[in-house]
Structure 1
Amino acid sequence: MSFVYLTSFGDVEKRILLACAYNIRNVFGLEVRLSSVPYPPRLGFDPVRGQYRAGAILSYLRSLDFPELVRLLALVSYDLYEEGLNFVFGEAELGGRNAVVSLFRLKHPAEETFFLRIFKEVNHELGHTFGLRHCPDPECVMSFSNSLIEVDRKSERFCRTCAVRLSSALEPYR
């Protein structure tokens, strides 16, 4: 059996991890294992920006290994950025095994909205790990989001085209 391992860095509530695990099982049809991994203090932190570089977290994830690992997803409470961008909601290795999603900018007073935003970004970044690129359909979860307005506008689901591509990419794990 193959697993998506889900870990967290920073202050991420266990109920968020459990909800994400449930979402991943439902959307991707893969089993999920929660894993506790220590994050090296301030690795990738830029004190001028007050943010962590997402690529540094992905590099750290590459150094980790788990039994029957298919994908490794880290949820972080940190604000993330990449060079040339003010911030990122998450980042993933296209066709690779690692992804990171930041909860920092997804927060909302309505818990349902907060969780839905998290699920959208988790599905989006895991979609990248299965080879999906950004989609031109603004309602598809694989559409690029540069603001919360764009996150809220899109669905947590894949459009028909992306769903077919994802199904094909998931075939070896079923």
Structure 2
Amino acid sequence: MGYIYIVSFGDVEDRLLLADASNVKEIFDLEVRVSTVKADIEEAYNPQRNQYHAGTILSYLSRVVYPDMVRLVALVSFDLYEEGLNFVFGEAQYGGKYAVVSTYRLYHPDERVFFERVFKETNHELGHTFGLKHCPDPYCVMSFSNSIDEVDRKSRDFCPNCRRKLDYVLSYYR
């Protein structure tokens, strides 16, 4: 059996990391470990955009390996983008082991709302690592979010169809 690792760099509160770990344990039913990583991600920074390139961060993360790791998701506090997009809430290696979620655009002064948004995006990106694609159900956590309103609309859980696919893949890790 392995673990899903939740790591952070930047100004991500320990309370958020621990809360997200509980969320992941509940939704994916796998053990979770929380850690921090030292990251030199300046190569990902684009000064013209004042943002960090998500794909470059994923490449950096792929060098972080734990022997008992099933997946790794990094929470970061800075704004992310991908080519052709103004910003991304997160990005994952489809069917791979690594994902990154930015808290930057998910912030809300109500901590409950803020944490819930982070949970949704963590679950969404981890879903991609387990081979799930975007879902047409706007309430499924796997629905594509192009705005914060779309993040707020969806659930932090998977629709029955996506849950069935996810449970099949997760059965190999339990």
Do the two structures share a fold, i.e. TM-score over 0.5?
A: yes
- Rounded Cα–Cα distance in structure 2 between residues aligned with 1:24 and 1:154: 17
Q: Does 1:157 align with 2:157?
A: yes
Which stretches in structure 2 are left out of the alignment for 5+ residues?
A: none
| TM-score (normalised: structure 2) | 0.98
How many positions carry a matched residue from both structures?
Answer: 174
Q: Does 1:126 align with 2:110?
A: no
In the TM superposition, residue 37 of structure 1 has moved relative to its aligned partner by 1.1
In the TM superposition, residue 36 of structure 1 has moved relative to its aligned partner by 2.0
Aligned positions of 1:76-95 closer than 5 A = 76-95=76-95
Aligned positions of 1:10-89 closer than 5 A = 10-89=10-89
CA RMSD across the alignment? 0.7
Aligned residue in 2 for 1:141: 141
Amino acid at match of 2:104: F
Which stretches in structure 1 are left out of the alignment for 5+ residues?
A: none
Amino acid at match of 1:167: D
| TM-score (normalised: structure 1) | 0.98
- Rounded Cα–Cα distance in structure 2 between residues aligned with 1:114 and 1:144: 18
More divergent stretch after superposition (154-163 vs 30-39): 30-39
Amino acid at match of 1:48: Q
Aligned residue in 1 for 2:104: 104
In the TM superposition, residue 110 of structure 1 has moved relative to its aligned partner by 1.0
Judged with a 3 Å threshold, the aligned counterparts in structure 2 of structure 1 residues 41 and 172 are, in CA distance, closer, same or farther, namely: closer
More divergent stretch after superposition (79-88 vs 64-73): 64-73
In the TM superposition, residue 107 of structure 1 has moved relative to its aligned partner by 0.4
3-state SS, counterpart of residue 145 of structure 2: coil
Q: Does 1:115 align with 2:115?
A: yes
Asked if the contact 2:7–2:37 (Cα under 8 Å) also holds between the matched residues in 1, the reply is yes
- Rounded Cα–Cα distance in structure 2 between residues aligned with 1:166 and 1:41: 31
- Rounded Cα–Cα distance in structure 2 between residues aligned with 1:163 and 1:170: 10
In the TM superposition, residue 101 of structure 1 has moved relative to its aligned partner by 0.2
Output one character per residue of 1:131-152: Cα deviation in whole Å (capped at 9) or x when no partner: 0000000000000000001000
